[in-house]
Structure 1
Amino acid sequence: MQYFVYGRDRPGSFGLKKSLNAEHWSFMDSYADKLVARGPTLTGDGEEAETTGSLHIVDLPDARAAHAFAREEPYYRAGVFESILLCGFVNVLRRTMWDFSEAVDGYGRFLVLAWGEPGPGPIPPKNTIVYGDLLALEDETHLGRAALLEAPDRETAATSLSTSGEGRTEVHHWRFGGRPGTR
């Protein structure tokens, strides 16, 4: 099963996080063949910005392995994260971020979280990188949807997973993560 792991940075932890990048990447190298997507969320427009979080979608055998992945991650162990969102993830598009090839010049990349509405999901736009349902670990209750996508601006990204007006939507600037040249 795939798992959605999003660590939200503790305020003021950017320097500590940056100092742990090599250790973080080494840890992630051991999961390279299991990663579906990875990368930081960012302040501002994503250009030369500080991080606000760290996202990983990873294919693991069970919830116990997902908990271990989240808790053994160097940023978590060092206290970088204020909180961790850990959910099951149903990958509707059945692809990884490395399969995405529809990049549009001038578009930014975003993580969009839409909470609520368990019915059929919207059809994601063509510039969607990864898209799927978020499920509670305990009983697989539908919690919402997540998408990594390209859009001309934050407002357009926010409407990409619009629901019937119930729930809330979060939009974060995001970029592909990892060491250059690695998965």
Structure 2
Amino acid sequence: MPPLISNQVVAWGANLATTVLLGSLLQTSVQAIELADGTTYFANVPRLENARTTYNSARVFGATYYFTLHVPEDAGEPLQRVMFNQQEGVDSISFNLKRTQAYRNKQKKQLLPIAAASTDEKGAISIFFDPPISPGETVTIGLRPYRNPRSSGVYLFGVTAFPQGEQAYGQFLGYGRLHFYDHFRWPSYWGH
């Protein structure tokens, strides 16, 4: 008579089979979502991780505004374009797009090529990557204003990411928030 197999061994064998099946499913590549008309979407949307400025004083020259985005492993498509649109702030900020830079990680160690940087009729800035940013990578984009705004306050920049593709659908990631302060004070003997 054959030896009996305990319930514990059968359960372990079933769990092992389930683990192997799930593991093989997770190793399959994630595909981007593409509609019948050819519009592509991210399967999982990139994240806006951070927005900061090198100088937060109003009216200062030489600042850089850094926006850090992470493209998740399961994005399905690489990141082709990022659009910035100033949504809030007293002054409209103008940028020197020729001085725009992008880095592969947060520490600004590896410079990435930018295919194009442009502004549309509404003032939205688009940064195009060639090659695009692969899933699993983090990119930091440095925008160079001609000057910080004249007026202090909170300035919000809407950030939208576009996957690779001819008809890529932009997905809004959130707002990059920059706060500028009026640090200049007149000497106390002026204005009496």
Per the normalisation by structure 2, the TM-score is: 0.30
Q: Larger Rg: 1 or 2?
A: 2
Per the normalisation by structure 1, the TM-score is: 0.31
